[in-house]
Structure 1
Amino acid sequence: MKKSFATNLSYEIPHELKKYVVSIIEGKSKYKMDTLYPVFATGYPVLIYVYDSVPVISVDGFETKPSSRVQIAGQIFDADISIRLQGKFGQIGLVLHPLTTYYLFNKPGSYFLNKWCNFQDIVPIAIDKDLQLALSACKTTDDRIKILFEFLKSLLDTKRPEIKWLETAIKKIYSLGGNITQEELSVLVDISLRHFRRKFKEVVGISPKYFCKVIQLNTVFEMLNTTNTERLHHLALDCGYYDQAHFINDFKKMIGSSPRNFLEGKHSFVKDYMGRKTL
């Protein structure tokens, strides 16, 4: 049994990183396990450190076992992704702002789309080795998080220039729970719709229209994790869905089953990972 699939940790994020790190999560188990679970879109890339068994990642049926214990999981779009774990579950995730991969790792979000990227493919090999050595010497979650924070701080000197209009658009999307159109966003930031769509998809990794849908659905999950599942229909309406049919249709497209079947199914624990992590 998983002791915790994805627990939000109450850990103070350094002031200089608050723009880039949204929250910190940890998943762990006391005993070895053999399990397969799906992964769905949340709207956030995640910097992951695996301190126990390294899982196998399957993307549309193609399986790979990461060669690095430090990885970046990118945005997800129109892909069937699952994780097979045979061993103890132990991972720390720094949930990143949607623009962090672009700002700090100097790569567009599209580079990470539907991928769990090994760190040696993103940073120089020497830096990856030093980071993994430092992390492997840690005995506690606190120590691991401190090492990851120090690493991110070291990237600030070479970060890309900020794209203020894109930050404004993303902030607006979160403030409205995804319940806004890309046309309204392009007007808000005074950018042509064509350029807005193109740049957003390049930097974030997915289109603004799909990103809004992801945030809207995860806003439902956020509320679902703190209330009775019997109120699911009302929660959907509160989050801007026109009616139950509209909500169920979007849910099936992103999750692959109806809300009720998912919540009563064997992978319902995944909802602990879903939901907005605040921004």
Structure 2
Amino acid sequence: MNYQTFQPCPDLKSLVKCYWTLEVSADSDAEKQRIVPDGCIEMAFILGDDIKRFTSGDNFILQPRAMVLGQTTEPFYIQPTGYVNTFAVRFYPYGFANFVSTPLKNLANKETPIEDLFGEAHSKELAQKIIPARHAQQRIEIIEEFLLSKLNEKATLDNIVKTTVETLLSTNGSSSISAILKEDLSKRRQLERKFLKQIGISPKQLGKVIRLQAALKMLLSQQTETLTSIAYESEYYDQAHFIKDFKEFTGTNPRDFLEDRQLLLSALFYSEG
């Protein structure tokens, strides 16, 4: 399994967290992988064999080969059908809204083909450049040219949304929305509405995902020995609260997470950023 990340150009670094590539050789016994929420939206290009995404039980769809993965609030399962070769853009929570006019709540918890967002002609042209490119750096140059051409100067993010996201990120999701709004609860409904449009999920949901991400990184680095310590450092009320949120977003408890082969990919994404 070869997973690599790459940094964006200066003009996109405030919106794009990174580009990443994943390459895995074909394996007839490829296991399902459980993907957990990370607070980011991703644009992904499947360059290898098809990838299944399970909708329930043994039912699945084949993921679009050029797609946007919206915000997720629950884990989901994928499974490769052969050789894995994926190139993707990982946007900051407020990043993707600057490139599309579609309310991002419409993209949550699902894959959307890029032609539904950027039109068939532009999307086909982009895919025809990305697919035959010889290496990651060439694909990055292609996608950056595309993103810069789509950057909507008029789609400026509402300041209250950007400030809230930045506060949640800087405090690892531990700040309450009431504290961020300085107890001005009249702004809460307005913030919720803007979040659904520009982020895709509510401020509270994003805060919970960011806090989980911080706790997961702590768990994966094994710098903190006990779950109680992780709960305390991540500012959960107590260990029970930490375990409840952990199960909600990963589908398992913290003690089993490190041993679960179905979470290898999520563990890789979290530990590598």
TM-score by length of structure 2 reads 0.90
Structure 1: segments with no counterpart, 5+ residues: none
Report the CA distance shift for 1:47/1:247 in structure 2 as closer, same or farther (over 3 A): same
- Per the alignment, residue 62 of structure 2 pairs with 65
2:94/2:157 contact within 8 Å kept: no
Q: Map 1:75-90 onto structure 2 (within 5 A).
A: 75-78=71-74, 81-90=76-85
Correspondence 1:49 to 2:45: yes
Q: Greater CA deviation, 210-219 or 158-167?
A: 158-167
SS in 2 for 1:170: helix
1:168/1:189 contact within 8 Å kept: no
How far residue 173 of structure 1 moved from its aligned partner, in angstroms, is 0.4
- Per the alignment, residue 260 of structure 2 pairs with 265
How far residue 102 of structure 1 moved from its aligned partner, in angstroms, is 1.8
How far residue 121 of structure 1 moved from its aligned partner, in angstroms, is 1.1
Q: Greater CA deviation, 193-202 or 119-128?
A: 193-202
Q: Map 1:53-202 onto structure 2 (within 5 A).
A: 53-60=49-56, 63-67=60-64, 69-78=65-74, 81-157=76-152, 160-187=155-182, 192-202=187-197
1:42/1:275 contact within 8 Å kept: no
Q: Greater CA deviation, 225-234 or 148-157?
A: 225-234
- Per the alignment, residue 40 of structure 1 pairs with 36
| Aligned equivalents of 2:123, 2:96: Cα separation in 1 | 16
| Aligned equivalents of 1:203, 1:224: Cα separation in 2 | 30
SS in 1 for 2:140: helix
SS in 1 for 2:235: coil
Report the CA distance shift for 1:190/1:179 in structure 2 as closer, same or farther (over 3 A): same
Aligned-pair identity in percent equals: 24
Report the CA distance shift for 1:160/1:93 in structure 2 as closer, same or farther (over 3 A): same
2:178/2:185 contact within 8 Å kept: no
Match of 2:23 among 28, 34, 37: 28
1:219/1:276 contact within 8 Å kept: no
Q: Which runs of 4+ in 1 moved over 6 A?
A: 188-191
Q: Greater CA deviation, 253-262 or 219-228?
A: 219-228
| Aligned equivalents of 1:266, 1:193: Cα separation in 2 | 40
1:59/1:114 contact within 8 Å kept: no
Report the CA distance shift for 1:197/1:157 in structure 2 as closer, same or farther (over 3 A): closer
Alignment RMSD, CA only? Answer: 2.3
Structure 2: segments with no counterpart, 5+ residues: none
TM-score by length of structure 1 reads 0.88
